[in-house]
Chains A and B, each alone.
Chain A
Amino acid sequence: MSKKMKVEKAYKPKAKILKKRKPNRSLVGDFFLYLFLLGMAFLMVFPLVFSVSSALKPLDELFLFPPKILAQNPTLDNFADLFVTMGKSWVTFSRYIFNTVWLTFAGTAGHLIVASMGAFVLAKYDFPGGKTFFKVVTVSLMFSGYITQIPNYLILNAFGWIDTYWSLVIPAFAFPMGFFLMKQFMEGLPMSLIEAAKIDGAREWRVFIDIVMPNVKPAWLTMIIYSVQSLWNNPANMFIYSEEKKTLVYALQQVGGGGIARTGQVQAVSIVIMVVPITIFIMSESQILETMASSGLKD
């Protein structure tokens, strides 16, 4: 006992971090592991930084030999040029933005409502077929969407939804990942909360809207970011043919097709595209982590 006291005393004048350290950690190990982590963090962030700096480079700097990593005279010309280039195209740039925003919004909103309704009953009630259904959803997480792409085309064709927004919006409702995370998160919701509301005379729909939904906010946000991520990055080239219904990512590919002189503009578009999902993620990070804590696959 006295020995332990001594150790504590010896640590007292040192920094707070050292005091908090776990007793079974070696300093050398810490040093090298965190050095490694720092190096990896630098590698991970490098392409993103490089992307931003290329978007800020004037044209002559993009073709400098030897090329520089960071822009010497950063300018916003590329972003301005982008609007000029897109202004000349048959479909205006704002239309692409509108398409992407509309698809993302409609798909995400529908997914949020439809999937949380289903997840709610699966998580909180025991009814025949419920467990089996959830198992099937779990299996669908195990194969990527590419497998079902061809029959999906045939089905959308049968509905007459090819070349309409519905071809992207409606399938997004069923996105299994969001459903899975929502259901796992709702498991943690106390049943007594629901029962209390029922005793007070609330119908199922009221319980869902007033009790369940406000309590699973973190799961919503997670659902939203996943759905936004998949819809926002969707080039929409499989099911949509009309130029005026294509998305921002598709436009990016088109600008790139304009040749090597457009390099700066392509970078500018990619900044425009990636800024939205990253911002949403940064703003809702803690809630997403809260949701992911219940994401585990139990047997």
Chain B
Amino acid sequence: MKEYIKKYFALRKHNFQVGVKKAKKSKMCYAFLAPYALVFAVFYIVPLVTSIFFSFTYYNILEMPRFIGLDNYTSLILDDDIFLKGVKNTFMIAVITGPLGYLMSFLFAWLINELPRWIRTIAIVVFYAPSIAGAACLVVFSILFRGDAYGNMNALLMEMGIIDTPILWFQDPRYMLPICMVVILWMSLGSGFLAFVAGLQGVDRAQFEAGYMDGIKNRWQELWFITLPNMKPMLLFGAVMTITQSFGVCDVTMQLCGYPSTDYEARTVVTHLFDYGFTRFEMGYASAIATVLFVVMILCNKGIQSLLRRVGT
């Protein structure tokens, strides 16, 4: 046993020495990477670590942070009704728009893949434009769904005789979230969609021909047995993009339903984070919210990735 441990450490030492030698040889690599690594560390890694640290403290910027253990987390889960509402909303939005948006991205990418080149080029712009224009274009929905009779949606429904008084779309809890979800879906064909389009173009044609020989009958079999397994890296990338977006939802709800929204009905986890971080300056509490969100996002990503690895098998 003793010998074993000795050998283990000897090996470790050797590996370390080799590493140092290699590092000395590749000074130029570090020099090239340094500027990016520095900025990345300062604005991504350090904040993440400090955020986890602050989540265990009471900190309001003016006083020094005071360690309070798990108090932030317990009051978050046990006492904060509005946070739970935010969690519920975020979860609803993520569960509905996440998978739907992902499937839409893939379906559209797959359908336009077989179109002639010039139609495909136009189709990509048409489908991708909402996610670029998105933030600026949200205003249009406040005209479409305006709360008075001049709003197009209300006017349409009144013409058809379905309703007789205009609906306050963004103040009525029954309509707030569904409308936000529709808008989020509209904007969901983002970088994942582009990755899918590009990935589909890259699938080897010979494989399809081999598939015809082997008796692949229709487009769905072809999709499952040939196209999807070839696209796995893109599928993973698209999933990461989708999860990050759907858990981080806040722009759409803030712009459409207001901030704070009526009765906090459109609150999401991120808006709650902003509320505590930038309005009330309770940094410790806000950091706890951020940490919870971080853990959920990472877990969800890992889960979906292990699920996606099984595609086509």
Chain B 149-193 per-residue mask, 1 if CB under 8 angstroms from chain A, else 0 = 111100110010000000000000000000000000010010100
- Given A144-B248, A148-B47, A249-B135, A62–B150 Cβ distance below 8 Å? yes
B181 to chain A, nearest CB (A): 14
Chain B 119-159 per-residue mask, 1 if CB under 8 angstroms from chain A, else 0 = 00101111111101111110111011000011110011001
Q: Which of chain B's residues have a CB closer than 8 A to the CB of A80?
A: none
The yes or no answer to B45 lying at the interface (CB within 8 A) is: yes
- In the complex, what distance in Å separates the CA atom of A234 from the CA atom of B277? 19
- Chain A: residues with Cβ within 8 Å of the partner, total of 101
Residue of A nearest to B15 (CB): A128
A292 engages B144 (CB within 8 Å): no
Across the interface, B36 reaches (CB within 8 A) one of A127, A151, A179, namely A179
Give residues of chain B (61-116) contacting chain A, Cβ–Cβ below 8 Å. Answer: 61, 108, 111-112, 114, 116
Q: Which of chain A's residues have a CB closer than 8 A to the CB of B140?
A: 47-48, 50-51, 54, 267, 270
Q: Which of chain B's residues have a CB closer than 8 A to the CB of A99?
A: none
Across the interface, B139 reaches (CB within 8 A) one of A140, A252, A288, namely A252
Give residues of chain A (45-84) contacting chain B, Cβ–Cβ below 8 Å. Answer: 45, 47-48, 50-51, 54, 62-67, 69
- B-binding residues in A (CB < 8 A): 17, 22-26, 29, 33-34, 36-37, 40-41, 43-45, 47-48, 50-51, 54, 62-67, 69, 114-115, 117-122, 125, 127-130, 133, 136-137, 139-155, 170-171, 173-174, 176-177, 179, 204, 208, 226, 229, 233, 238, 249, 252, 256, 263, 266-267, 269-270, 273-274, 277-278, 281-282, 285-286, 288-293, 295-299
A118 engages B44 (CB within 8 Å): no
- In the complex, what distance in Å separates the CA atom of A296 from the CA atom of B114? 21
Residue of A nearest to B52 (CB): A151
Across the interface, B298 reaches (CB within 8 A) one of A139, A179, A273, namely A139
The yes or no answer to B286 lying at the interface (CB within 8 A) is: yes
- Secondary structure type dominating chain B contacts: helix
- Given A130-B29, A148-B51, A285-B121, A24–B240 Cβ distance below 8 Å? no
Q: Which of chain A's residues have a CB closer than 8 A to the CB of B54?
A: 150-151
Q: Which of chain A's residues have a CB closer than 8 A to the CB of B151?
A: 67
Q: 4 smallest A-B Cβ distances: which pairs?
A: A296-B233, A144-B248, A118-B36, A151-B47
A150 engages B143 (CB within 8 Å): no
B247 engages A144 (CB within 8 Å): yes
- In the complex, what distance in Å separates the CA atom of A112 from the CA atom of B112? 31
Q: Which of chain B's residues have a CB closer than 8 A to the CB of A274?
A: 132-133, 136-137
24 CB contacts below 8 A, A to B, read A24-B222, A44-B186, A47-B140, A48-B133, A51-B137, A63-B150, A66-B155, A118-B33, A118-B36, A125-B26, A127-B22, A128-B20, A143-B294, A146-B274, A147-B293, A147-B297, A148-B51, A150-B47, A151-B54, A152-B43, A170-B39, A174-B39, A281-B129, A295-B199
- In the complex, what distance in Å separates the CA atom of A251 from the CA atom of B134? 17
Chain B 186-217 per-residue mask, 1 if CB under 8 angstroms from chain A, else 0 = 10010100110111011000001000100011
Residue of B nearest to A25 (CB): B219
Q: Which of chain B's residues have a CB closer than 8 A to the CB of A173?
A: 35-36, 39
| Range, interface on chain B | 35 or more
The yes or no answer to B252 lying at the interface (CB within 8 A) is: no
Q: Which of B135, B189, B244, B274 has the most CB of A within 10 A?
A: B135
B29 engages A127 (CB within 8 Å): yes
B201 engages A289 (CB within 8 Å): yes
- In the complex, what distance in Å separates the CA atom of A243 from the CA atom of B28? 43
Q: Which of chain A's residues have a CB closer than 8 A to the CB of B23?
A: 127-129
Across the interface, B126 reaches (CB within 8 A) one of A45, A269, A277, namely A45
The yes or no answer to B287 lying at the interface (CB within 8 A) is: yes
Chain B 223-256 per-residue mask, 1 if CB under 8 angstroms from chain A, else 0 = 0000000011110110011011101101000000
A285 engages B43 (CB within 8 Å): no
A74 to chain B, nearest CB (A): 16
Across the interface, B130 reaches (CB within 8 A) one of A48, A153, A238, A285, namely A48
